[in-house]
Structures are given as C-alpha cells and as structure tokens.
Structure 1
Amino acid sequence: MPGGVMIRSLGLVVLAAAVAAPFNAQAAAPPPKSVAPAPSPSPAASVPSDVVATIDGEPFTARQLEDMAGARLFQLRTQQYQAQRQILDDEIARRLLEREAAARKLTAADLLKQEVESKVAPVTEAEQKAFYEQNKARMGTMSEADALKRIEAHLREQRVGERQAEFLSGLRAKADVRVMLEPPRVAVPVGDNPSRGPLDAPVTIVEFSDFQCPFCSRATATLKKLDESFPGKIRIVYRDFPLVQIHPNAARAAEAAACANDQGKFWAMHDVLFEHQDKLGEADLKQSAVALGLDAAAFDQCLESGRHSAQWQKDTAEGQRYGVSSTPAFFINGRLVVGAQPYESFARLVEEELARVGQGAPTKPATTSIR
C-alpha cells in the first residue's frame, strides 16, 4: 500500500451473512478515424443493436435477457459496487491519514500509534474470563489458558479497529469528501406490508426476515436503534422470508404475526416472536396472543385457518426475484444489504441517503426494475 501504512479495511457491508468464529476469524472508446468507404453490412451488422441473439431469425433482446437475469445481475452489480466502494473508502482514509501526519510532522505509522494504539484500553482479566464463559462451548478442546490468550488478542484487535475507525471517521468529517460513485438500486414494492415510520420518510428500509432466524433477531435491535438515532427519517417495512427448510416454525410464526396484524398488533407480536424464538410452537403462538391482549378466539381461528400462508409465500417469491436468498436482507432505498451488519454500517448508509436527498437528489432514486 502506498505510504507503507496498513489501514484496516473500512468496507461498509458484505454480501453474505456469516457465522463469526469465537474471535474472528464503460466510457466508450472513440470511433476509429478512417476515410475508407464503409463495407457492406453483414447479416449480423443489420440486426438491431438491442438484439443479443437470434434463433432461426427470431430475435432475443437485451431487455429480455435483463428481465430474465435481473436478480443475478443485480447481485453481481452490488458485489462490484461494494468492492469498488471499499477500495475507494480505504484510499480516502489513507490520503487523509497521510495529510494529517504531514501536518503534525509525523509519519503515518507514528500518527496511528499516537491516536489509536496508545488510546486503546487494555483488556482486563475479568473481560477475558467473561468472554470465555460466554463462548466456552465453542472452544473445543482448547485449554482455558490458551483460550484466554487468544481472547485477549482478539479483544485488543477489536478495540484497535474500533478506535482506528473512529479516528479516521473524524478526519473524514473535517475534510470535504464527496463520493460520486452510485450504488445499484432495485425498486422493491412496499404494498400493504406492515411498516412503521412516516410514509413520506426520506429513507425506506424494506426488510426480508425470518422469525426463527437468530441473525434476524439480532438485527431487530439495530433497526430500533436506527429509529432512535434518526427520528422521523426512516420507514421500516417488514416482509416475510421464512427459511422453511431449516426453520420449521418460521412460516407458522409469520402467519401468527399476520393474524396479530389483523388486530393492529403486528409490531407487538413481532417483538415477542423475536425475543422468544424458543417458543414458536402452535400453543406458544396462541399464548403470546393472549399475553398481548388480542381477541384469542379470533386469533386462534385466523391461525388455524392458515389464511395468511399465501402472504409469506408471496413475499418469499418476490424476495427471491430481487436476489434474496438468506436472512436477514434489507433494501435501503433500494440498496441491498445482507446479514445482521453492525449498527455503524446501517447508520452510514442512512446518512448517505439523507445527504443524497439533502443535496437535491430525488427522494425516489433511479432504480433497476426486476420482473
């Protein structure tokens, strides 16, 4: 890396949700100049420019290809954007760091030692043991002494990373940094799905989730924190994506939430289901309805009828069409985020969207339409 300083990657989001180890592990080219007469057009040259193939003379257009491959192409474009954005953000951070170091008459490495490493609190023995107790089952045959050493190194590295991100964020905030790289977006319909927040909020987050998914449960706290941090600025829309192959109770839980929605208690039931993922059996769902003060008879009849099963099936089919294959998945003003990412990643995206709108860009961004 230029400058000889290693900057921890500040990549915004990742496309795949992963279970962490205990301590982690074009512009067109100008036309050629020529005065020679143009050759006679070949059969291929006479085909309209939007035709990408012909089958016995029948054209197959680029639009047809786009419609058929829309979800896959959107995922690939998102991956490309994320790679470009990570490289861009890291380079911005490197340049700001070098500039700050020069202003202080220090090397970049010495500046990081001064502002990052020296300001990180040591990991206490109590913190090491607390982490060990919480993750003991995942330590395998590792001795406690070896585990504690690895835990100390992991927690130390984590703190250094957090402090470095904080310091670099401060440098960026003081500078006039403008990013023109546009992310791919897809228009995800909201319909009459449960939502909270102003209908005209500048940022809409469409969430595809599964009530039996532990990562989805973790993400609920992040979304609530976003609500608190950006009051009146966010609308959150919930859509079902139960992974029925691995979560046998998820679909029924989705139906229970829909039945609660019939009585105006979707979000209350939503919270209960995620807080008690070990209680998603039929009897548990009915008991939760009683605890929430719902009309028990109406709820039971609704759940037993299965009348809301078509809703989660529709949500799942549409989610797959937009490229969703795991949970949780979010579309923030059409920008795909997969997995229970840290709050900071979501907050940064929200801030970017608010800034984009504030700079005069349209509230409804240009999007890809996936059919």
Structure 2
Amino acid sequence: MSKECIMLLVGKSRSEGRAIAIGVAFLLWAVLFEQSAFGGGPPAKSVDPGVAAKVGDQIVTLDELEKALAPQLAKLQDQKFQLMASKLEELIAGRLLALEAKRRAITVEELLKAEVTSKAPGVTDTEVTAFITQNKARLQGQEAEIRPKVREHLVGQKLQETRSTYLAGLLQRAKVERFLEEPEPIRIPVSAEGAFAQGPKDAPITIVEFSDFQCPYCSRVIATLKEVVRLYPKQVRLAFRDFPIAGLHPKALKAAEAARCAGEKGKFWEYHDLLFESQAQATPADFKRFAEQLKLDANSFATCLDSGRHAAAVAADVQEGTRLGITGTPTLFINGRFVVGALPLEAFQGIIDRELRRSSK
C-alpha cells in the first residue's frame, strides 16, 4: 500500500479506516484480476512472424500466401506506384506555379489566366464538325444538341495542352529533383522452356507472353512487341505461350494447335502473324490454307492438325497460365513482372529500361 493511502487511514476513525482499507484491498484485487484476465499474466506462446495460420500441425506461411496472391499483389503495387508518381507530378506543377506567381507578385489564378487561358487557341466550327464526323459511332443525339458539348470538350483539351506546354517551360528553367523510386517489383517465376521464342538466349530481359489467337486485344499488341524486339535486338528475348480462352473464343484452341504444326517446320512466327491478321478466318480449312500460303507441305500439315498432336501441349500452357493467376489476355511477364493488356510502346520501354538499369548495377 502506498504512503499516501497509509496517511489517509491515520487521520480517520477506526470504522472509517476499516471501510477505506477494505475498499483499497478490493481495488487492488480488481486490478490484479484485470491484469490476469486481459494479458497481464504469463506471456502467450510466441508465434513465428513468418507464419500466417496453423491448421492442426500444418502451417500456412506468409511467403506461401504472398506467392498465391503474387499477380494481384504485383498489380496493386504497380497501381500504387503509378498513382504516387502521377500525384507527385501534380504537386510539382502546383509548386512551380506558386513560385512563378510569387516571383511576378500575382496570384496563381492570375498567372494561369495570363499564360494559359488567354493564350489557348480557339475552337473553330470546322474542328467541331470534324470531331463529330470522326466520332459519329459513339456520339448520341442530334448534331444541334451535341455541338455545344463537343465544343466545350475541345476547348478543355486545348486549355490542357496549353497548360502542359507552359508547365514544361517552367520545369526546364527550374531545379527539380525527384527522389521517388519504384519499389522492387514482385516477380513471378515463369518458364520460357519449350516456348517458341525470338531473340538471343542470353538476353538480360525475357518477355513471356500468354496469348489467344482469337483475342482482339492480343492482335493489337503484336505491332508493339515487334517494335520492342526491333528496338532491343540484343537485350530482349520474346517467348510465346498459349492461353486460348475457350469460353470466349472456341476456335482459338485449334488455332494454337495449327501454329504449333507450322512451328514444327520452322514457320511459327510467320504463321502466328497470319492468324492474328486474319482472325475472322478461323476454320480448319482456313488454317490449312494459311499453311499453303507459307509453302508448307499440305499433307504433313493436315495430318498434324487433324490428329490433335499438339492439343496436350496447348492444354499444359493453359494449366500453367491458370496456376500463375492469368484471367485474361494478353498477359506478359517481363523478367517475371506481371503486365496485363495491350500497353503502348512507351509503357514497355519504361519497364524494359528500368530492368536494364537494374541488371547493370
């Protein structure tokens, strides 16, 4: 009992002191009980920080959990970085405008009015008409109703372009250092063994593409990937693996087999291009005609295609893609980095250049 409690008891009558003593004892008992009931007792048995769960004697590790979610986590990580990079540029632009406005002893609003609003080119009736003509399929309503909306849209575009040009000038004159670094990407081990590939085997970057010969988005990325191979002839190896989505494109399975039959004769990539260029033509007869166009032996190709010789290999690729978490095409792995969709060339170049810088360290 503390000294303060003892002094309190001394100054009281015996009955009052007894009551207070009982109250203090009860309070001490309550505190001790609470500590015992809510963690004040012996410490619980520690759990390995690498364990996420226990099922009987079996454990589920955090590493196992992260590997199972690798595609989704990779996508989230990339989205987070892109959001941060975009917001950083927005904040830098705000600082530049504020500094320039302060230098000129005006407000930011006055600065933008002087350098952007007043200098943005106007929108002509000809431009409005041309936009409506080019986008007629996705514009709804009578022309008289949509013209004001189109004009407003074009005015906004020109204001944004003028603002971007002005900011680029401010950026050139200012001292801006960026320290935001992309985090080490989540990498998913993907094999290119046995896949049809082009580019040096010892290239520092391997792109493994899972694709569907009937997928329209897959056809859009072909030209981009060809440009990537052209721009990085010694740095990039491109490997193709099948992921026909039978529920959406039932003809894609046989198309994948046909490409492998052409690959037996060293014509995979030429046949690959024909399939993507002629997606509307996807019957077995069309596949055999494509083989003839490439001067392949007609009988040998027909035997290969009709026998289903490569059906198991195509199915194995689909199974592997499913295990890797692929749900759509095209899906690519750039040195194990998960990339989805027909991205523009600049996006591929950005990833490849970052990978090359990493490999040179």
TM-score by length of 2: 0.72
Distance 1:187 1:276, change over 3 A: same
- In structure 2, the CA distance between the partners of 1:41 and 1:258, relative to structure 1 (3 Å rule), is same
Match of 1:54 in 2: 54
Distance of 1:344 and 1:334 partners within structure 2: 19
Whether contact under 8 Å (1:51, 1:59) holds in the other structure is: no
The aligned counterpart of 1:236 is 238
Q: 1:321 aligns with which of 320, 323, 329?
A: 323
Q: Deviation at 1:134?
A: 6.0
| Cα drift, residue 54 of structure 1 | 3.4
TM-fit CA distance, 1:61: 2.8
Report the CA distance shift for 1:214/1:150 in structure 2 as closer, same or farther (over 3 A): farther
Distance in 1 (CA, whole Å) between partners of 2:353 and 2:66 is 31
**Residues 206, 236 of structure 2: 8 Å contact kept:** yes
Structure-1-length-normalised TM-score: 0.71
Q: Is the 8 A contact 2:212 2:329 kept in 1?
A: yes
| Structure 1 residue 263 displacement after superposition | 0.7
Q: What's the offset of the Cα at 1:202?
A: 2.2
Contact 1:329 1:339 in 2 (8 A): yes
Q: Which residue of 2 aligns with 1:201?
A: 203
Q: Which amino acid counterpart does residue 274 of structure 2 have in structure 1?
A: V
Distance 1:118 1:238, change over 3 A: farther
**Partner residue of 1:259?**
261
State the alpha-carbon separation in 2 of the partners of residues 286 and 244 from structure 1.
21
Change (3 A) 1:332 1:116: farther
Counterpart secondary structure, 2:77 = helix
Match of 1:214 in 2: 216
| C-alpha contact (below 8 Å) 1:81/1:184 kept by paired residues | no
| RMSD, aligned α-carbons | 3.7
2:347 equivalent to 1:332: no
Cα 1:214–1:262 shift into 2, 3 Å: same
SS at match of 2:201: coil
- In 2, the alpha carbon distance for the partners of 1:218 and 1:80 equals 25
Evaluate the alpha carbon distance shift between residue 95 and residue 136 of structure 1 in structure 2; reply closer, same or farther with a 3 A threshold: closer
In the aligned structure 2, how far is the partner of 1:287 from the partner of 1:198?
32
**Cα deviation per residue 1:320-364 (whole Å; 9 max; x = unaligned)?**
222210111111222112111222222221222222223x0xxxx
1:269/1:288 contact within 8 Å kept: yes
**1-structure distance, mates of 2:163, 2:233:** 28
In the aligned structure 2, how far is the partner of 1:357 from the partner of 1:162?
37
1 or 2 for the larger relative contact order (CA 8 Å, sep ≥6)? 1
Stretches of structure 1 that go unaligned for 5 or more consecutive residues are 1-37, 361-371
Q: Would you say 1:95 and 2:92 are equivalent positions?
A: yes
Counterpart AA for 1:87 = M
2:187 is matched with which residue? 185
Aligned-partner Cα distance in 1 for 2:254–2:123: 47
Q: Provide the secondary structure at the position in 2 that maps to 1:298.
A: helix
Cα deviation for residue 255 of structure 1 reads 0.7
| Secondary structure at 1:331 match in 2 | strand
CA distance in 1, matches of 2:327, 2:216: 16
Indicate the structure with greater helix content: 2
Q: Is the 8 A contact 1:244 1:250 kept in 2?
A: yes
Counterpart of 1:348?
350
Does structure 1 residue 223 correspond to structure 2 residue 225? yes
Percent same amino acid at aligned positions? 39
Cα distance change on mapping 1:213 and 1:298 into 2, 3 Å: same
> Residues 345 and 298 of structure 1: is their aligned pair in 2 closer, same or farther, counting only changes over 3 Å?
same
Aligned residue among 72, 75, 82 for 1:75 = 72
Equivalent position SS for 1:79: helix
Give the direction of change, closer, same or farther, for the CA distance of 1:133–1:99 in structure 2 (3 Å limit): closer
For 2:282, what is the secondary structure of its paired residue? coil
**Would the aligned equivalents of 1:78 and 1:183 in 2 still touch at CA under 8 Å?**
no
Paired residues of 2:119 and 2:162 also in contact (CA < 8 A): no
Show CA shifts across 1:264-315 (max 9, x none): 1111011111111111111111000100111211111111111111122111
TM superposition shift of 1:238:
0.9
Q: Give the Cα separation in 2 of the matches to 1:309 and 1:269.
A: 17
Q: How far apart are residue 192 of structure 1 and its match?
A: 1.5
CA distance in 1, matches of 2:189, 2:315: 19
Asked if structure 2 preserves the Cα contact closer than 8 Å seen for 1:209 and 1:238, the reply is yes
Quick check: which has more Rg, 1 or 2?
Answer: 2
5 Å-filtered alignment, 1:160-171, equals: 171=171
Q: How many residues align?
A: 315
Q: Is 2:355 aligned against 1:357?
A: no
SS of match in other structure, 2:69: helix
- Contact kept, 8 Å, 1:257 with 1:266, in 2: the verdict is yes
- 1:143 corresponds to 2:145: no
